[in-house]
Amino acid sequence: MYADHLSKAFAGLVLAAAVPTTIAAQSAPNIVVKGEVEIESLHSDGSDETFLFGDVDLSFGPAGGAGGLGFDLGVLAIDSDGIGSESAVFAAATYTTSYGKFSFGVPRNAASAFSRMPDVGGIKLVGITQDTFTGGIVELVYLTNDDVPVGLRYDADYGAFKAATSYHRLSDSEATVFDLAASFEMGKFFTNGSVEIVKPQGTSSQSAVHAEIGASTDLYEAGIGYTIGSNVIPDAFMAWATYRPVQKLDVSATVLDIDGVDALYGLSGTYQFWNSAYVQMGVADSSSFDAVWDLSLGYKF
């Protein structure tokens, strides 16, 4: 995608964030919009980079929580001088029943929705790679290689317990990916986990297992996680703690320790204003490279 086209795509993401929410509030309550758009300025040892990020989902379903047909549309897009412009579009027909929601087409993979770990240093550019360890490989493969993940997904919501499973076949590589993910909350404590099984064309299956556990209140959230990557990705340990000294300010410390790579540490502060808009400052550092400083302006909904 060319840069000017991607800029228009980001403008569309911003409009998608505002318009459908307004429509839903005034008419039928069957349009749900969630996601985030952000522009971040990165600086490291005399080098500067501007990075654009957008991740938006629109869900059209039966009114009033009734069952029936619907449609999900999602867009994940990035742009910077260093890595160029990339985008991935998810689109799926859905059918909601009393037993859960079924999606057919190009849905997001199940594991992508369950991790609670913040981006290291609050940096979205780091977070895209980080998501491979916490949410599976499907989105990154689609985003960077245009390998379209055609398949199906099932979601079940039982209040404190939520679960999802998905199956995708990548259009170019013809690899198949199976996800099973779940989360459970009890009081201030939470846990979630996922299993992803990847079968490249002509080779045996490989698996990755991820798990998180932690606690969350109005004042803080803290958690640890671990990924056993088998032959899909390296093993990785992760931990985070977020403190909220005042209502609209979050201060987060994060660490991501990937097997065979020096640990990556992050510190960030995020201040919310004007409903869901925010400004953020952060830094990510490791003994193997210079610190990367981040100043971001974004909108989360």
The pTM of the full predicted model, rounded to 2 decimals, is: 0.85
d(CA 290, CA 44) in angstroms, rounded, equals 6
CA atoms of 167 and 150, how far apart (whole Å): 8
Q: Measured between alpha carbons, how far is 248 from 264 in angstroms, rounded to an integer? A: 26
Sign of the dihedral through C-alpha 55, 61, 64, 66: negative
pLDDT in tens, 10-23: 444 444 444 444 44
Give 197's contacts (C-beta < 8 A, 6+ positions apart). 177, 178, 179, 205, 206, 207
Amino acid identity, position 180: L
Can you tell me the distance from the alpha carbon of 209 to that of 216, in angstroms, rounded to the nearest whole number? Answer: 23
Instruction: Report d(CA 163, CA 161) in Å as an integer.
Output: 7
93 neighbors 251 (Cβ within 8 angstroms): no
Angle among Cα 195, 199, 200 to the nearest 5 degrees reads 140
Q: What are phi and psi of 105, to 5 degrees?
A: 135, -110
Rounded-to-integer distance, Cα 148 and Cα 139, Å: 9
Q: Give the pLDDT confidence score for residue 250 in this predicted structure.
A: 96
CB-based contact 266:122 (threshold 8 Å): yes
HSE value, Cβ hemisphere, 13 Å, CA-based, for 128: 21
pLDDT of residue 3: 39
Report pLDDT for 63: 74
Q: Is the pLDDT of residue 26 over 80?
A: no
Q: Lowest-pLDDT range, 1-5, 134-138, 215-219, 282-286?
A: 1-5
Coil, strand, or helix at residue 229? Answer: coil
156-170 mean pLDDT: 96
- At 77, the pLDDT band (50, 70, 90 cuts) reads very high
**Chain CA centroid to CA 253, Å:** 19
Q: pLDDT digit string (tens) for 194-242? A: 999 999 988 889 999 999 999 999 999 999 999 998 888 999 999 999 9
- Residue in the block written with tokens 């990020």: 53
DSSP SS3 for 251: strand
Q: Which two tokens stand for residue 63?
A: 């009114």
Instruction: Look at residue 28 in the predicted model and tell me its pLDDT.
Output: 53
Lowest mean pLDDT among 18-22, 73-77, 173-177: 18-22
47 SS3 class: strand
* Selection from 144, 119, 138 nearest residue 130 by Cα: 119
Tell whether the model's pLDDT for residue 179 goes beyond 60. Answer: yes
User: How far, in Å, are 37, 57, 122, 134 from residue 284 at the CA level?
Assistant: 20, 28, 8, 18
> By percentage, how much of the chain surpasses pLDDT 90?
74
Q: Which of 14-18, 124-128, 210-214, 296-300 has the lowest mean pLDDT?
A: 14-18
Neighbours of 81 (CB within 10 A): 11
**Predicted pLDDT of residue 151:** 97
Q: How much is the pLDDT for 65?
A: 65
Q: What is the mean pLDDT of residues 84-95?
A: 94
pLDDT band at 35 (very low <50, low <70, confident <90, very high): very high
Whether residue 66 is predicted with pLDDT greater than 80 in this model: the reply is no
What is the average pLDDT across 143-160?
95
What per-residue confidence (pLDDT) applies to 54? 96
Mean pLDDT along residues 43-67 = 87
Q: What is the mean pLDDT of the chain?
A: 89
DSSP, collapsed to helix, strand or coil, labels residue 232 as coil
User: Once rounded to an integer, what is the mean pLDDT over residues 66-85?
Assistant: 89
Q: Closest Cα to residue 225, out of 187, 177, 264, 257?
A: 257
Higher-pLDDT residue of 243 and 62 is: 243
Strand partners, 272: 278
| Dist CA 175 CA 269 (whole Å) | 40
